Amino acid sequence: MRNADRAELADGRIRLTVLGGFLGSGKTTWLRHQLYAGLYEDAFVIVNEAAETSVDDVLLAHSSTLAVLAGGCACCTAQTALISLLRKICDERTRTDSREKRLARIVLETSGLADPRPIVAAIQSDPVLVNHIVVSEIVVTVDALHALAQLRSEPLGRRQIECADRLVVTKVDAPANEGLARLIATLGFLNPGAALSGAVKGVSSELPAALTVEPESLPDLDGETERPALFPTKLRIDGPIDWIAFSVWLSALLHARGGDVVRVKGVARTPAGRLLLQSVRTVVQSPEILPEPKDDDDREDNTIVVIGRGYRAEDLQRSLARFAGASQGNRD
Ligand SMILES: [Zn+2]
């Protein structure tokens, strides 16, 4: 906790929780469960997607108020958009007559590409926001299965962990995960001040003790800053997806480019229904069946977002078209 909660309430400012974590580390799942459990019930939730599309908002129906900031990352390209959105929220709050009804909390779910520190710095240095908002906590989700590999190769993964007030290790129920104790020791080494807890599908879960385990010795990543930046590619497919062909394409892609593709996520309309597809590194998670949209809000169906580096967006689209027989699709 960076400030005493009570003091923030007393000065009437909004408490802001920044939720960060690497791509696929389970931010949305964790937040969705907290909302379901009533924890951030009173909060205004902002979901930032670096891609132009957002599938996370369909998952967060339990929050009372939700805004999606899409098409840029709040730590860099969409920083100005975030500041204007927050100013607008503060403005509306000031106009609320009843003190009791006033918004007390905002939760910002960052994109997996975001470094939380520039976000916090931008809020704290904004002459308007500084009077209205206190960043009370940075929560960072850490993938029990993939975080050690990410920490070895991704400077961003380390920066996210280093700035957290609270680290939530997700997917701690994964079987035969010998690396978990080492990950916990490594987190304690990188950020000894952070509160550490475990979670399974958002529900708190016990972490193993890591007292006797040495932290991973991490390579120096300073020379790595020259690596090309991760970028999102949005793929659209017209008509129902041939599920088998698509799975073959996805497996082939992750097989060939597992090191470059860090995340695949999207909603596919298949004969079995609307499926939420997700992959983290080379692991394709079993698809989740989504409810039918209420008010025709299926614009993002058959949209797949691939986040990675080291290839061209056009090549990815061409490859999908070839493989999945989706050559009639792929417009943007
Ligand atoms: Zn950014």
Q: Which amino acid is at 299?
A: R
Nearest one of 247, 286, 292 to 273, comparing CA atoms: 292
Q: How far is the CA of 287 from the centre of ligand 1 (A)?
A: 28
Q: How far is the CA of 22 from the centre of ligand 1 (A)?
A: 12
Q: How far is the CA of 231 from the centre of ligand 1 (A)?
A: 10
Q: Would you say residue 64 has pLDDT above 70?
A: no
List 263's β-bridge partners, or say none. 280, 307
Radius of gyration of the CA atoms of the chain, in A: 20
Picking from 41-45, 159-163, 250-254, which range would have the lowest pLDDT averaged per residue? 250-254
Q: Residue 48's Cα: distance from chain center in Å? A: 8
What pTM did the predictor assign? 0.71
Q: Taking residues 84-96, what's their average pLDDT?
A: 92
Q: pLDDT by residue (tens digit) across 125-164?
A: 899 998 899 888 999 999 999 999 989 888 889 989 988 9
Q: Taking residues 160-172, what's their average pLDDT?
A: 92
Q: pLDDT by residue (tens digit) across 20-30?
A: 999 889 999 99
Predicted local confidence at residue 258, as pLDDT: 66
Residue 326 banded pLDDT, cuts 50, 70, 90:
very low
Q: pLDDT by residue (tens digit) across 187-241?
A: 988 888 889 999 999 999 988 776 788 888 887 766 555 567 677 888 887 766 7
List 109's β-bridge partners, or say none. 19, 47
Q: How far is the CA of 111 from the centre of ligand 1 (A)?
A: 8
Q: How far is the CA of 77 from the centre of ligand 1 (A)?
A: 6
% of the chain with per-residue pLDDT over 70: 80
Q: Would you say residue 276 has pLDDT above 80?
A: no
Q: How far is the CA of 73 from the centre of ligand 1 (A)?
A: 4
21 φ/ψ sector (left φ>0, alpha ψ -120 to 50, else beta): left
**Six token digits for residue 299:** 């614009």
Q: How far apart are CA 300 and CA 55, in angstroms?
A: 7
Predicted local confidence at residue 132, as pLDDT: 92
Q: How far is the CA of 291 from the centre of ligand 1 (A)?
A: 31
Burial of 323: CB neighbours in 10 Å, binned 0-12, 13-18, 19+:
middle
- Summary mean pLDDT of the chain: 80
- Give me the torsion for CA of 149, 152, 157, 159, rounded to 10°: 160
% of the chain with per-residue pLDDT over 90: 27
Q: How far is the CA of 115 from the centre of ligand 1 (A)?
A: 6
Residues whose CB is less than 8 angstroms from the CB of residue 328 and which lie 6 or more positions away in sequence, other chains included: 238, 239
**Side-by-side strand order, sheet with 166-170:** 65-70, 43-49, 105-109, 14-21, 133-143, 166-170, 195-200, 203-205
Q: Would you say residue 91 has pLDDT above 80?
A: yes
Q: How far apart are CA 162 and CA 165, in angstroms?
A: 9
